[in-house]
């Protein structure tokens, strides 16, 4: 006797014929063999589950590793799960979990590539740009650069930067440009001395995961003094660099068009010879800047750049006086006669959430990190840092600044 059949509609409007006969496929097998439906289901699973399901079969592996799968999944940005932080006196990383205040196992404690301990240069939408020196060789010419996905544990060591006419030109900064919502490919942007070796004259070279070897991009350019090319921030398809000297021009490099542009900045107040940058970074596709001038450093604004680069506007106003009252170790004596006290803290990161009222600031106080909510001004302790060396209890243990903290975002990005 032939088994009966029935047709049913799925949530993806895919019509499936399911046989009730034991001689035919089960409903689960039928679903598993329909790529569109199976992909739709997989897209709603957390990344940790997807990593496990890659081993179910070659078919599932091909679906999950397909570049189009990653592109569809990144239409909704993954949250920032935590921060990797490391100081100058250790090769190990500390990890601040942003999803819970309970102790948890970090994604890693240290990084080793090609038998050498590595440090992080930049985090960019789930990928990390890392660097390490080859064993026994400490000069810039023998430095390795690597793109690492801490979620999948995959990494790619980039080819060595080329030598020009027998001369290795100095490297001023290496930065990662990666937007998984637009492409599975990434670029690594390197700013070097130009061939003429003229001071203040630079050349950009690019490595592309799609096209391969390092190549020069455009002609040489002149940059104002004080630009720190090693602290680039990727946002709006571009790498952004700040000049820390007065009102000198800052720059950004459009990684798609491969063009350089000037970046407008807030005016430096009279009496200050340098820009007092306390934070410069990106979160959930927003570019932020914090500069603090004057004696009351616990009161400051968070600026955000307009997407069309028309200027900066005040996004948040921060008042850390209540934090200082709760953590009196934040108040320190200052020898400056015009300022009796100052507030000891560093800003590690701005975390934008899907709902803006939940966005917050991660602040490093002595031996700890706290979370400060922009909306209701509430705060709570996130993390205790391990003691540093033999420092005395009364001495500052503010180890980390914003350029020592790197976002951890779960990602399926292929490197």
Mean pLDDT, rounded, for 122-134: 90
333 band by pLDDT with thresholds 50, 70 and 90: low
> What's residue 11's pLDDT?
39
Alpha carbons 45 and 42: distance in angstroms, whole number = 5
Residue 233 has pLDDT above 80, yes or no: yes
Alpha carbons 237 and 400: distance in angstroms, whole number = 28
288 contacts 282 by C-beta, under 8 angstroms: yes
Q: How far apart, in Å, are the Cα atoms of 100 and each of 40, 82, 362, 371, 383?
A: 29, 10, 14, 11, 10
Mean pLDDT, rounded, for 185-191: 97
Alpha carbons 278 and 291: distance in angstroms, whole number = 5
Backbone angles phi, psi at 24, to 5 degrees: -115, 175
Tens digit of each residue's pLDDT (9 = 90 or more) over 58-103: 888 888 877 778 777 777 778 999 999 986 666 789 999 998 767 7
Model confidence, pTM: 0.85
> What's residue 42's pLDDT?
83
Alpha carbons 43 and 285: distance in angstroms, whole number = 22
Strand partners, 16: 8
Residue 4 has pLDDT above 60, yes or no: no
170 contacts 192 by C-beta, under 8 angstroms: yes
In the 8-state DSSP scheme, what is residue 349? Answer: E
Alpha carbons 248 and 223: distance in angstroms, whole number = 9
Residue 378 has pLDDT above 80, yes or no: yes
Helix (H) / strand (E) element for 325: namely: helix 321-326
> What's residue 28's pLDDT?
58
Alpha carbons 411 and 176: distance in angstroms, whole number = 15
Question: Chain-wide mean pLDDT for the chain?
Answer: 84
> What's residue 287's pLDDT?
98
Contacts 24+ apart (CB under 8 A), 213-216: 213/159, 214/159, 214/161, 214/162, 214/190
217 band by pLDDT with thresholds 50, 70 and 90: very high
Query: Exposed, middle or buried, 79 (CB in 10 Å: 0-12/13-18/19+)?
Result: middle
The domain locations on the chain are 28-67, 276-384
> What's residue 253's pLDDT?
98
């Amino acid at each position: 006797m032939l088994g009966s059949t029935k047709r049913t509609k799925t949530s993806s409007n895919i019509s499936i014929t399911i046989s009730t006969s034991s001689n035919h496929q089960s409903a689960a097998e039928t679903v598993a063999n329909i790529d569109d439906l199976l992909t739709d289901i997989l897209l709603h699973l957390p990344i940790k589950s997807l990593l496990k399901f890659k081993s179910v079969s070659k078919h599932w592996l091909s679906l999950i590793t397909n570049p189009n799968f990653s592109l569809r999944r990144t239409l909704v940005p993954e949250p920032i799960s935590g921060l990797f932080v490391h100081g100058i006196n250790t090769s190990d990383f500390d990890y601040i979990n942003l999803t819970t205040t309970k102790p948890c196992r970090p994604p890693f404690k240290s990084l080793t590539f090609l038998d050498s301990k590595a440090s992080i240069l930049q985090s960019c939408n789930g990928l990390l740009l890392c660097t390490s020196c080859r064993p026994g060789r400490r000069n810039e010419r023998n430095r390795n650069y690597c793109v690492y996905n801490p979620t999948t544990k995959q990494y790619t060591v980039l080819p060595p930067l080329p030598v020009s006419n027998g001369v290795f030109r100095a490297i001023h900064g290496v930065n990662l440009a990666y937007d998984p919502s637009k492409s599975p490919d990434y670029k690594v942007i390197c700013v070097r001395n130009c061939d003429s070796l003229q001071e203040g004259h630079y050349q950009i070279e690019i490595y592309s995961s799609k096209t391969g070897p390092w190549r020069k991009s455009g002609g040489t350019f002149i940059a104002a003094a004080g630009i720190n090319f090693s602290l680039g921030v990727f946002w709006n398809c571009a790498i952004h660099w700040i000049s820390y000297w007065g009102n000198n021009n800052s720059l950004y490099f459009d990684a798609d068009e491969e063009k350089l542009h000037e970046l407008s900045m807030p005016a430096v107040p009279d009496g200050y010879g340098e820009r007092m940058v306390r934070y410069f970074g990106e979160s959930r596709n927003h570019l932020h800047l914090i500069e603090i001038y004057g004696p009351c450093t616990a009161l400051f604004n968070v600026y955000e750049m307009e997407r069309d680069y028309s200027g900066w506007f005040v996004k948040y106003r921060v008042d850390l006086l209540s934090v200082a009252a709760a953590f009196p170790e934040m108040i320190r004596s200052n020898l400056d006669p015009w300022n009796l006290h100052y507030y000891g803290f560093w800003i590690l990161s701005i975390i934008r959430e899907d709902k803006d009222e939940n966005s917050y600031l991660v602040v490093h106080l002595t031996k700890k990190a706290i979370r400060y909510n922009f909306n209701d001004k509430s705060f709570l302790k996130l993390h205790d840092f391990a003691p540093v060396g033999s420092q005395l209890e009364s001495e500052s243990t503010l180890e980390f600044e914003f350029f020592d903290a790197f976002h951890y975002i779960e990602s399926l990005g292929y490197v």
